Amino acid sequence: MARLHLFDLDGTLLYGTAAPVEISRQLGLEREIAALEADFVAGHTDSMQYAVRVHTLWAELTEAHVAAAFDGAPWLSGIQETWSEIRAGGDYCAVISLSPSFFVERLLGWGAHAAYGSRFPAVPFSGPVDPAGILNGAAKVKIANRLCEEFDVAQADCVAYGDSLSDLELFAAVPVSVAVNADARLADLATHSYVGRDLRKAYELVHTPVREAGEV
């Protein structure tokens, strides 16, 4: 049976940072995004409130800022190689993130079969945030279930990779999970844990090589 590998973005594929932080850095708003991130991690701000506040913060955002943030971000090494190996083995890989879809969807060009993020207005912004398009932990599970149907993969054949409590519900919904540079509370719940900067090493924890004919 094919497997579906589900990757978080912030703190997982991105090392020690998040897409909104990298985008805000391009706008010179490091202090403002740090305060907003602290509120979110502490639970003082939910994903919808975060989206509204960051939308306001990014009033001057352009596609050039987004491209620079993506290109300059501290990605784990081996992402494209890992996804290429997943594809070559007949499996699927997808990214599900609370970060803006206009950033997340750039990973389709790196080999992800699907990439989902919170829906923001097109950049530069000309309208408000639609609350219906903002994702949370529960939405990750719903999207994962939809991808299982799309790719004809059983939930029992899914692997989730994440780093924070926003991945908790997805980790609980699938049988195999990899905590990547994760919050200790999430790492304790994962079936595997990886600390480092190479996605290939995290993938090796759950990858079962196909045996050649006659191999014992």
Do 171 and 160 form a contact (C-beta atoms < 8 A)?
yes
The C-alpha atoms of residue 40 and residue 20 are separated, in whole angstroms, by: 12
Q: Is the pLDDT of residue 210 over 50?
A: no
Where in the chain are the domains?
4-15+76-204
Do 95 and 7 form a contact (C-beta atoms < 8 A)?
yes
Q: Look at residue 212 in the predicted model and tell me its pLDDT.
A: 37
Q: Is the pLDDT of residue 211 over 60?
A: no
Region of 40 on the Ramachandran plot (φ > 0 left; ψ -120 to 50 alpha; else beta): alpha
Q: What is the mean pLDDT of residues 27-50?
A: 94
Q: What is the mean pLDDT of residues 46-64?
A: 96
Q: Look at residue 1 in the predicted model and tell me its pLDDT.
A: 86
Torsion angle, alpha carbons of 139, 100, 70, 28, to 10: -130
Q: Is the pLDDT of residue 13 over 70?
A: yes
Q: Is the pLDDT of residue 21 over 60?
A: yes
The C-alpha atoms of residue 50 and residue 87 are separated, in whole angstroms, by: 34
- The whole-model pTM stands at 0.94
CATH class entry, domain 4-15+76-204: alpha beta
Structure-token pair, residue 78: 């081996």
Do 44 and 125 form a contact (C-beta atoms < 8 A)?
no
Model confidence pLDDT, tens digit, residues 137-196: 999 999 999 999 999 999 999 999 999 999 999 999 999 999 999 989 899 999 999 999
The C-alpha atoms of residue 95 and residue 107 are separated, in whole angstroms, by: 8
* Eight-state DSSP code of residue 153: -
Q: Is the pLDDT of residue 88 over 70?
A: yes
Nearest by Cα to 187 from 171, 209, 210, 169: 171
Give the residue with greater pLDDT, 131 vs 208: 131
Q: What is the largest CA-CA distance in the chain?
A: 62
Q: Look at residue 209 in the predicted model and tell me its pLDDT.
A: 56
Q: Look at residue 123 in the predicted model and tell me its pLDDT.
A: 97
The C-alpha atoms of residue 97 and residue 108 are separated, in whole angstroms, by: 13
